Structure 1
Amino acid sequence: MGEAIERFFGSLPARAPGVLRGPTRGRLQIDLTTGNRTEHWYVVLAPGAVQVSREQLPADAIFTVSAELFEELVTGRQAGMAAVLRNEATFSGNVVLFLVFRRFFPDPPGVRDPRETAREHVRRPG
Structure 2
Amino acid sequence: MAFEDEESNKVAEFFKELSEQPRMLSPAVETTLRFDLEVDHEVENWHLRISRGTVRVRREPLPADCVVRTSKATFVELVTGRANLVTLTSRNQLAGTGDLEVLATFRKFLPGPAEARDPRYTHPRLSLGGR
Pick from 32, 55, 58: which aligns with 2:63?
Answer: 58
Identical amino acids, percent of aligned pairs: 32
Change (3 A) 1:113 1:24: farther
SS of the aligned residue for 1:104 comes to coil
Segments of 5+ residues of structure 1 without an aligned counterpart are: none
TM-score, length-normalised on structure 1? 0.82
Offset of 1:15 from its aligned partner? 2.9
Amino acid at match of 1:107: G
| 1:42–1:55 CA contact under 8 A, matched in 2 | yes
TM-score, length-normalised on structure 2? 0.79
Segments of 5+ residues of structure 2 without an aligned counterpart are: 1-6
Higher helix share: 1
Q: Which runs of 4+ in 1 moved over 6 A?
A: none
Offset of 1:61 from its aligned partner? 0.8
Offset of 1:80 from its aligned partner? 1.4
The residue correspondences of 1:41-120 to structure 2 (distance < 5 A) are 41-112=46-117, 120=126
Offset of 1:21 from its aligned partner? 3.4
